[in-house]
Amino acid sequence: MDALVSLFRDSWHWAAGTSFGVALVISVLFIVAFISVWAMFGVWLERKASADFQVRLGPMEVGPHGLLQSLADGLKLAFKEDLVPKDADRFLFVFAPAVAFCGAFAAFVAIPFSPAFNVVDVDLGVFFVIAITAIGVIGVLMAGWSSNNKWSLYGAMREAAQLVSYEIPSALALMIPVLVTGSLGLRSIVEFQCMPSDGDLKAASLVYLSPNGWLALYSPWTLVAFIVYYVASLAECKRAPFDLPEAESELVAGFHTEYSGLRFSFFFLEEYGMMFVVSAVATAVFLGGWQPLPWLSINFATLGFVGHLLAVGVFLAKTIFLVWVQIWMRWTLPRLRVDQVMVMGYKYLIPITLVALTMMACYVAYGIRYVPGIG
């Protein structure tokens, strides 16, 4: 087990040094398996949560409390006929789901699940995640364009416009923690949040005080950044109330109208993968990653393998909670109009984040955390 831990901890060096191919295969299989299981669980969660909000029961038949319903649906999708419309651009049409899936898929590489479980600790983690998740929109655009269907094209254009608009506030909002911590690495941002006062993580006792606390509670401006990032991330992963790209009542199914079977399921995986990625980034950057409480941290490394599993559990619990809040919002808020989405992005979120960023820069420069003059 310790070997496994060290394998994940040092996978990057290990990969570079010894056998890059083997490391690549293991990492890819790990992520693919994780995303598949997550997507099945996420769909089940969505259906159960929506049922709860609507005073229904949701899936109950397949497996205990319908847990295996997603598996049955996935099997059904896999056996569906694979259709390509006659007038579609065949190459792009076939290629688009893979491209769309790439963004969400690659972002998993950088997510720090625990002090040890992390495929690669990318030094530019935040930057990497922002950049790589934006690849997905290319796949969506390809899908919409190649389908040769007006609904698909409308959906794809909306998605592009929406993503381009909301990348700005979400990236700006992520810059605020970067400003505070002085690092772009996701793991070092988490470590900043659980840093003991003497600054020595390795020597910390099992339970210790960490004066920095979670970044969402670090300062008023980081809280603003958290909220803005969360709202913008809803738009980035096409969740309600920003689900314009696949607005059922307007665009049939948006950019994936013409897709069926496995290709459609790739878009599905992409959507649920993105939900997980944005929530995981929010967890790592703003909510203390694998630490269960703010200001009071646990040194999971002293617990060995069990500690790492616990850390992963805490991280997943927080992430799933954020996903659940996304679902909660979806079943609460009606869909915005196109112009409202644009107004919200450009007129509100971006100025708010810019103000917050400027203020945070001043705070950092003068060593203030909460209120000027007090500390």
Binding interface with other proteins (CB under 8 A): 51-57, 60, 328-329, 331-333, 348, 352
Other C-beta atoms lying within 10 Å of the C-beta of residue 13: 10
- Residue 40 beta carbon to other proteins: minimum distance, rounded to whole angstroms: 22
Report residue 18: phi and psi, to 5°: -100, -85
Is residue 235 within 8 Å of 162, Cβ to Cβ? yes
- Residue 343 beta carbon to other proteins: minimum distance, rounded to whole angstroms: 9
- Residue 331 beta carbon to other proteins: minimum distance, rounded to whole angstroms: 6
Nearer to other proteins, 53 or 370 (CB): 53
Nearer to other proteins, 297 or 326 (CB): 326
Nearer to other proteins, 186 or 327 (CB): 327
Nearer to other proteins, 65 or 80 (CB): 65
- Residue 329 beta carbon to other proteins: minimum distance, rounded to whole angstroms: 7
SS3 assignment, position 207: strand
Of 145, 27, 34, 31, residue with least CA distance to 91: 145
d(CA 202, CA 206): 10
Nearer to other proteins, 22 or 333 (CB): 333
- Residue 224 beta carbon to other proteins: minimum distance, rounded to whole angstroms: 11
Is residue 5 within 8 Å of 308, Cβ to Cβ? yes
Contacts of 284 (CB under 8 A, 6+ apart): 111, 112, 186, 187, 189, 190, 315
d(CA 78, CA 262): 5
d(CA 291, CA 300): 9
Nearer to other proteins, 16 or 333 (CB): 333
- Residue 24 beta carbon to other proteins: minimum distance, rounded to whole angstroms: 43
